[in-house]
Amino acid sequence: MFRKTRLFTPGPTPLLPAAQFAMAAADLHHRTAEFRALYLKVLAQLKVFIGTSNDVITLSSSGTGAMEAAVSNLTSPGEKVLVLTAGKFGERWVSLAKAFHCETVVLSKPYGETFPIDEVKALLTPDVKAVFVQATETSTGVRHDVAALAKLVKGTDALLIVDAITGLGTTNFNVDGDGIDVIIGGSQKALMIPPGLAYMAVSERAWARMETSKQPRYYFDLRKERKSAAKGESAYTPAVALIAALGAALDYLEQQGGGDLAKGRDLLVANAELSALCMRSAAKALGLDLFSCAHSAAVTAVKAPQGICSSDIVKGFKKEFAGVLSDGQGEMKGQILRIAHIGFLDYLDCIAIIAGLEQVLAQLKPEGFQLGTGLRAAQLVYAEARKSGGEQ
Ligand SMILES: *Cc1c(COP(=O)(O)O)cnc(C)c1O
């Protein structure tokens, strides 16, 4: 049979065809009225997508560029910051804070876990100027409780900076209500377009902090970007084609929401949530243990069954079906399998992943897996969701 290449990875994710066409057609100069109109439209749409009235900017970089910009614009050398880490992306915050010579207090939890709120509280002393966390830790499949953290941080001097690179579009946030000072997203995740663009919403409190930050910064000087963005421009040559793609992706969400982008965004989140629920039910039915203690809708991480290396499952899935699943990262390689529910995926994709996974598992361990067990569990979840009106 044919084998269509399919990405089931937590970034890059499958591309939206309309966004690909928009990219191919994006033959325009960035200092023109046409581009300014496009960029202003996209920035306004991003605000709705994020759910904020804070100013939003984009950067021509992968998501990590915006993470670095958050550190370089909002901290000063020697200043105390608190980093919460329980995975590879949390460790990236630690490295960034250290690279910029912050006095870095680290609350570290084992992979797969999250942060007890009283432990965070104990470390949140009055001299802490910023708190860095992931909304969803893509390396472990865990959702961290951003709302609870925001409640703690509110009323302190600390800024709350959230890497929501796989959180946006898979998680409901109350950015302004909760007081999230910086929330960061990346193009290659829920927005269904290729890598290369980061975006972030920044609170007034955070904009004010930038004026006193003593870190060196040049290309990622957010104040310059804010000034340019107000005029519909970017400080330097932006990734024009990606911005065109982003506009098309946000238009698609608006259409899905019947002309209401916020509604379309909610559907995107609900889509990820139901896919994740189907996947978790299938995993359970197949006797596979989940790796995370607090499940995100972005990524489902399952432990490889006894005697099977997760790398062999990933390889088998690619070889049999040309589908790309993710292995564990770093020391989790070989131990866990990660399946993404981010962006342009639907129920049939979800069912296909489960069916393919069952077949690969049955090949690796013929006595252990009965074909159709996981599928049935997922189908029942979907049927139940339809019945209860959770799925229109
Ligand atoms: C993908 C991702 C990033 C950003 O990685 P880039 O490769 O720089 O785009 C950061 N944090 C999380 C949680 C992610 O999933």
User: Which residues touch 265 (CB under 8 Å, ≥6 apart)?
Assistant: 48, 49, 51, 169, 253, 257
Query: Measured from the CB, is residue 63 less than 6 Å from ligand 1?
Result: yes
Cβ atoms 34, 28 nearer than 8 A? yes
Helices (H) and strands (E) in the chain, counts: 14, 14
> What is the arithmetic mean of pLDDT over 82-104?
98
- What does DSSP assign to residue 139? T
Pairing of strands 182-186, 159-163: parallel
Q: Is residue 227 part of a domain?
A: yes
3-state secondary structure of 45: helix
Q: Is residue 273 part of a domain?
A: yes
Residue 48 and residue 182 in one domain: yes
Boundary (domain end) residue, out of 222, 256, 290: 256
Residue 89 and residue 126 in one domain: yes
Tell me: the pLDDT tens digits for 118-171? 999 999 999 999 999 999 999 999 999 999 999 999 999 999 999 999 999 999
Closest CA to 169 of 151, 185, 154, 156: 185
Residue 173 and residue 238 in one domain: yes
CATH number, domain of 87, equals 3.40.640.10
Boundary (domain end) residue, out of 207, 236, 256: 256
Residue 278 and residue 299 in one domain: yes
Distance (angstroms) between ligand 1 centre and the Cα of 285 equals 31
3-state secondary structure of 290: strand
CATH number, domain of 383, equals 3.90.1150.10
Q: Is residue 96 part of a domain?
A: yes
What is the Cα–Cα distance from 222 to 120, expressed in whole angstroms?
28
Distance (angstroms) between ligand 1 centre and the Cα of 387 equals 36
Q: Is residue 180 part of a domain?
A: yes
Please determine, for residue 32, whether its predicted confidence score (pLDDT) is greater than 90: yes
**How much is the mean pLDDT over the chain?**
97
Closest CA to 40 of 252, 233, 238, 244: 233
Q: What is the pLDDT of residue 275?
A: 98
Q: Is residue 392 part of a domain?
A: no
Residue 289 and residue 190 in one domain: no
Q: Is residue 358 part of a domain?
A: yes
Residue 144 and residue 200 in one domain: yes
Please determine, for residue 357, whether its predicted confidence score (pLDDT) is greater than 90: yes
pTM: 0.98
- Domain that residue 125 falls in: 17-256
Residue 236 and residue 273 in one domain: no
Token reading at 326: 């993710």
Instruction: Locate the ligand 1 atom nearest the alpha carbon of residue 198 and give its number.
Output: 9
Query: Measured from the CB, is residue 12 less than 6 Å from ligand 1?
Result: no
What is the Cα–Cα distance from 145 to 139, expressed in whole angstroms?
16
Tell me: the pLDDT tens digits for 160-205? 999 999 999 999 999 999 999 999 999 999 999 999 999 999 999 9
Number of domains in the chain: 2
> What is the arithmetic mean of pLDDT over 28-34?
97
What is the Cα–Cα distance from 347 to 233, expressed in whole angstroms?
39
CA angle 159–112–333, rounded 5-degree value: 115
Please determine, for residue 274, whether its predicted confidence score (pLDDT) is greater than 80: yes
Tell me: the pLDDT tens digits for 308-328? 999 999 999 999 999 999 999
CA angle 70–75–81, rounded 5-degree value: 100
Boundary (domain end) residue, out of 256, 289, 318: 256
Token reading at 346: 């639907």
Distance (angstroms) between ligand 1 centre and the Cα of 236 equals 23
Residue 377 and residue 312 in one domain: yes
Altogether, the residues listed in the chain come to a count of 392
Q: Is residue 1 part of a domain?
A: no
User: Which residues touch 220 (CB under 8 Å, ≥6 apart)?
Assistant: 59, 61, 65, 68, 69, 72, 73
Residue 329 and residue 213 in one domain: no
Choose which residue among 13, 58, 64 to substitute to test ligand 1 binding: the one with the highest number of ligand atoms within 8 A of its C-beta. Answer: 64
Residue 150 and residue 165 in one domain: yes
Residue 216 and residue 93 in one domain: yes
Residue nearest to atom 12 of ligand 1 (CA): 165
Cβ atoms 339, 366 nearer than 8 A? no
Q: What is the pLDDT of residue 392?
A: 54
Please determine, for residue 36, whether its predicted confidence score (pLDDT) is greater than 80: yes
Residue 284 and residue 168 in one domain: no
User: Which residues touch 147 (CB under 8 Å, ≥6 apart)?
Assistant: 174, 178
Token reading at 127: 């001299």
Q: How far is CA 184 from the centre of its chain?
A: 9
